[in-house]
Amino acid sequence: MRYAMAVDTKKCVGCSDCVVACQTENDVSIGYCRDWVVEINHGTYPQLETEIRSERCNHCDNSPCVRCCPTGASHYSDGGTVLVTKNKCIGCSACIESCPYDARYTHPDGYVDKCTFCLHRVKKGMQPACVAVCPTKCMYFGDLDDPNSSVTKVLKIRNYKVLAPEAGTKPNIYFLI
């Protein structure tokens, strides 16, 4: 089982509904977020290109955060999901420094927090909160080992990229382009 997500940059309009859904689903305090939306503009008016991406932890196969964690709080869980065990985390921020995607932050309670792929929902057969609410349905979540999962199917027919592949992290969030 290899959980992964695909985000269609051609469909995302940057409404940030995914961000609010995550905040409310996972009790993320106001002022913090586990997912976010980036807009990148290239060019000079009127020759312009815009890309909008809903981003979150990449749940990398080769996670620098898991590697550098001195206590084992950051670890791989079901389907390659990268999780943090709160009561093992000492809040040293090494994982924050190690993440090329800046996907982690220190929770006001002191431990480091991040996207969990909403594993608590996924285990019940539901979609992650961000995927479930997306009004443009631009996100696909599923198991890459399952040939019938929506994410496997969409990656077969669309061009895609991952972020900072040169960082060697083997990320699991795919951006459809």
Partner 1 sequence: MIRAQLLSLLIRVFSTAAGKSKYWLPIKPATDIALLLAWMNVLITEGWYDKEYVEQYTYGFEQLKKHVKTFTPEWAYGITTIKPDVIRKTAREMFNAAPAVIVHPGRHVTWYGDDTQRLRSVAILNALLGSWGRRGGFYIGEDKGIPDFPHPEYPKPTRDWRDAFPGKYQLADLALANGICDATIPAAGRDCSFKGWIVNGTNLIFTLPDMRNTLKAIESLDLMVVIDTMPMEITGYADVVLPECTYLERYDMVRTSKHREPTIALRAPAVEPKYDSKPGWWMAKELGHKLGLDEYFKYKDIKEVLDWQLKKVGSSLDEMKRIGVKKFDREDGGHLYFDKGEDLEFFTNTGKIELYSTALEAEGFDPMPKYTAHPEPPEGYYRLNYGRAPMHTFSRTANNPNLTDLMDENVVWVNPKVAKVWDLKTGQEVWLENQDGIVSTFPIKVRVTERIRWDSVYMVHGFGHKNEKLSRAHGKGASDSELITNVMVDPIMGGTGMRGNFVTFHVDKPEKGGLL
Partner 2 sequence: MKEELIVSGRMNAKIDPVLHAWGWEISVYLFLGGLAAGLLFFAGVYYLLGKAKKYPTAVRKAPVLVPIILALGLFALFLDLHHKPYFWRLYTTVKLQSPMSWGAWTLMVVTPISMIWAAINIREWLPNWDWKFQWAKDIEKFFVGYKKHMAWLMVIFGVILGIYTGILLSAFNARPLWNTSILGPLFLTSGLSAGSALIMLISKSKKERKVFAQIDLILIGIELFFIVHMFMGFMASTQVQQEAAQLFLGGHLTAQFWIFVVVLGLLVPAALEIMELRKIHIPVLVPVALILFGSFMLRWLITYGGQLSRYLY
Amino acid at the residue 160: Y
Residue that is written with structure tokens 């040169």 in the block: 166
Report the partner that residue 177 touches, choosing among partner 2, partner 1, none (CB closer than 5 to 8 A by kind): none
Q: How far is the CB of 124 from partner 2 (least distance, A)?
A: 27
| Closer residue to partner 2 (CB): 152 or 174 | 174
Q: Is 119 in the site for partner 2 (CB under 8 A)?
A: no
Report the partner that residue 46 touches, choosing among partner 1, partner 2, none (CB closer than 5 to 8 A by kind): partner 1
| Closer residue to partner 2 (CB): 96 or 119 | 96
Q: Is 31 in the site for partner 1 (CB under 8 A)?
A: yes
Q: Which distant-in-sequence residues (6+ apart) come within 8 Å of 165 by Cβ?
A: 171
Q: Is 37 in the site for partner 2 (CB under 8 A)?
A: yes
Rounded Cα–Cα distance for residues 132 and 140 (Å): 9
- Token output for 141: 């979540």
Number of neighbours of residue 147 by Cβ within 10 angstroms: 9
Rounded Cα–Cα distance for residues 74 and 91 (Å): 11
Exactly one of 119, 132, 154, 163 binds partner 2 (CB under 8 A); which one? Answer: 163
List the x/- string, 132-161, binding to partner 1 by CB under 8 A: -------------------------x----
Distance of CA 58 to the CA centre of its chain: 5
CB-count exposure of residue 140 (10 Å: 0-12, 13-18, 19+):
buried
Distance of CA 168 to the CA centre of its chain: 17
Report the partner that residue 100 touches, choosing among partner 1, partner 2, none (CB closer than 5 to 8 A by kind): partner 2
Exactly one of 88, 120, 137, 146 binds partner 2 (CB under 8 A); which one? Answer: 88
The dihedral formed by the CA atoms of 119, 122, 126 and 129, expressed in degrees to the nearest 10: 30
- Which residue ranges make up the site for partner 2 (CB under 8 A)? 14, 16, 19, 31-33, 35-44, 52, 64, 67-73, 87-94, 96-100, 102, 104-106, 109-112, 163-164, 166-168
